[in-house]
Structure 1
Amino acid sequence: MTLLLIGFYILVALYLLTAWLHFLEKGAGLSPQQKVLSLLTIGIATVFWPLVLPIAYVKLLDATVSQPQNYSSRTS
């Protein structure tokens, strides 16, 4: 059972690492210092993904809920 959990942890960590590195690749215009800090952040987030992922998801939900819905009622 422990081996299964370790395998799951490693698989998710590798998936997140590749996704975040791909996203960082698209970030044009970053200074070398920003790239180093971004890589450090990605490394820490990859190791601690069981904590980082839920926190990021909650922040994403808060951001989408706090934005007012722009429903306009038009009468014809």
Structure 2
Amino acid sequence: NAETYLGTRNTLTYLIDSVEGVKRDARKRSLPQCKISTDEARAVSGLLRDLRMNPNPTLQEWLDFVVLYYVHGLSEETIA
């Protein structure tokens, strides 16, 4: 049973790990610490709610990506 590698995620390390039989960790990326006040958070929430009312499908797709990336912490590869 191979050990789990918890290091950086890039193509070179992936290739080296796969050759050596090391499993890669599939955790989400770490999110930065949120340093906004409750009032600022409510303002952002209101802005996003208003943007969600827009019928533009491109905007909706972009908002989905932003939420998955910045709120849920998914990587670009996972979202794609």
- TM-score relative to the length of structure 1: 0.31
Between Structure 1 and Structure 2, the one with more strand by share is 2
Q: Which structure has more RCO (C-alpha within 8 Å, separation ≥ 6)?
A: 1
- Normalising by the residue count of structure 2, what TM-score does the alignment of the two structures yield? 0.30
Answer 1 or 2: which has greater helix percent.
1
